[in-house]
Amino acid sequence: MEYRDTVGKLVLDHIVMAVGFATLTMYPYLASTVQGEIDLLGWGMVLFMAGLSLAFLVASIIPAKPSRILLISYIILSITCLAFLWVRDPYQVLALRFLQGVSLTAIPVLVAHSNNLVGGSKGFIASSIILAGIFTGSIIGNNMVYWVGMDVRRAHVYLAVAILVLVSAWFRVSDNDFTYVKQSGKADTSVWLEPFLWFWGMSFHIILGFLYGFLGLVEYLKDKGIIDIAFGVNEFSLAAIAWTLIAGFYGYYTGRRGSRVFDTSVNVMLLVYLGVLAGTILVFGETGVIGGMGLVLLGLTQAGGVPFWTLASHVYSRRPSGLFAIGFISNLGSLTGPFIIKVLADYGSLQVFVGLMAYGLVGLVLTLIVKRMKCVEGR
C-alpha cells in the first residue's frame, strides 16, 4: 500500500509539472491574436525564463512550506492564463509572460518532494519521472490549441481550470510530506561560498540554456530561416522525455552496482554535453530529417536534469538553502540561452552556431572541473 501511495504521488507530481509547463509552448499561438511584430513577441520567451529564474530565488527565501509556495504560485499562474482573454497589447503580453515564469516554482518544489519520498539510487528514477513532466507539458501546450479548434484564448481558459484542479488535488495529498526547516543566516551565507555549488550549478546552467533556447525558439529559428529542419517542438519534447527516463534508469542501475551518486552524475552530464555539441552541429550543418535528428540529440539536455538534481538533492539533503541556491544558479541558464539565441539570430545562422558551440564547450570544461572535485555526499 505504501509503495502504491509513493508511485501515485510521483505520477501526480509529473502531471502538476506538466500543466504548469504547458504555458511554455502555448505562447507562440498568441501572435495571431495580439497586435505586434514577431520580433517583439519573441522576447516573451526571454522574459518567461527571467521569471522562471527568479522563481528559484523566491522559493528559497519565503518562510513557508514548499507545498504552500507551489499552491499559491499556481493560483497566480492560472490567473495569468485567464488574463490572456482580455489582453491585446504586446507589452501587456510580455508582462504576463514574466509573471508566468515567476509563478513556476514547480521544479525545486517537486524535485524536493520526490527526493523526500525516494532516496538513494532510486532517486535517479524519481527525478526522471518528475522532470519528464516538463516535456509532457510542452507537448500539451503545443497541441492544446488544435484540440480546442484553433482558439488560443479558449485553450488558456481550459488550462487555467486544469491548473487549479490539479494543484488543489496535489496540495491535499502532498502537504504533509513537507516540513519547513528554518535556517540561520550563517548557513544561508556560507553555502554560497562553496566551489561545488558554483561549478555544478554552472555546468547545468549551460545545459538549460540549450534546453529552453531550443524548446522556446526552435519554431522562431525556422521562421527566421536560421535553421531548416524537419522536426519541431513535438519531436524535441518526445526525445527529451525518452532521454530523461533513460538517464534515470541508468543512474539507478549504476547505483545498484556500487557507483557513487557523485561519479554517476558527473559521467552522465559529460555524455549529455557530447550529445548536445553533436546535435548542435547537425541542426546547423544539415537540413531536413538529418538536421531534425540533431534536434533529437539536443533533447538530451533534459536528461541533464536527472544527474544534476539527484546529486544536488543528495549533497544538500540536510541543507535546503543549498538546493534552492544551486537551482537558482543553474536556472539562470534558462534566461541566458534564449537571450544568446535571440540576439545572435539577428546576425545569421553562422553566428548562432559559433556562439552555441562556444557556450557548450564552456559547460563541458566546467563539468570536467567538477569531476576532479572531492564532494562530500549527504551532508
Cβ atoms of residues 245 and 135 within 8 Å: no
Q: Is 98 exposed, middle or buried (0-12, 13-18, 19+ CB in 10 A)?
A: buried
When pLDDT is averaged across residues 219-244 and rounded to a whole number, the result is: 81
pLDDT band at 207 (very low <50, low <70, confident <90, very high): very high
Cα 21 from chain centre:
9
Per residue in 285-305, pLDDT tens? 888 888 888 888 888 887 888
pLDDT digits (tens, 9 = 90+) for 311-356: 887 787 767 677 778 888 998 888 888 889 888 988 888 999 999 9
DSSP 229: B
Hey, what domains does the chain have and what are their CATH numbers?
2-371 (1.20.1250.20)
Non-local CB neighbours of 231 within 8 Å, separated by 6+ positions = 289, 292, 293, 295, 296
Neighbouring residues of 249: CB distance < 8 A, sequence distance ≥ 6: 124, 125, 128
3-state secondary structure of 36: coil
Q: What is the 3-state secondary structure (H, E, C) of 73-101?
A: HHHHHHHHHHHCCCCCCHHHHHHHHHHHH
Do residues 45 and 342 make contact, with C-beta atoms less than 8 angstroms apart?
A: yes
| CA separation for the pair 306, 174 (Å, rounded) | 22
d(CA 151, CA 153): 6
- Alpha-carbon distance of 150 to 89, in angstroms, equals 20
How does pLDDT run across 112-171, given as a tens digit for each residue? 788 778 866 777 888 888 888 988 898 898 888 888 877 888 888 999 999 999 999 999
* Cα–Cα distance for residue pair 82/354, rounded to 1 Å: 40
pLDDT confidence band for 181 (50 / 70 / 90): low
pTM given for the model = 0.76
Name the residue among 233, 221, 231, 232 with its Cα closest to residue 345.
Answer: 221
From residue 18, alpha-carbon distances to 31, 175, 281, 301 in Å are 23, 19, 30, 17
Give percent of the chain with pLDDT exceeding 90: 28
Q: What is the pLDDT of residues 11-62, one digit of tens each?
A: 999 999 999 999 888 877 776 667 666 666 667 877 887 888 888 777 767 7
Cβ proximity of 70 and 168 under 8 Å: no
Q: How many CB atoms lie within 10 A of CB 318?
A: 9
| Higher-confidence position of 220 and 34 | 220
Q: Is 195 exposed, middle or buried (0-12, 13-18, 19+ CB in 10 A)?
A: exposed
Residue 189 pLDDT more than 70?
no
Angle between helices 66-83 and 90-102 (to 10 degrees): 160
Exposure class string for 126-137: b at 16+ Cβ within 10 A, else e:
bbbbbbbbbbbb
pLDDT given for residue 370 in this prediction: 94
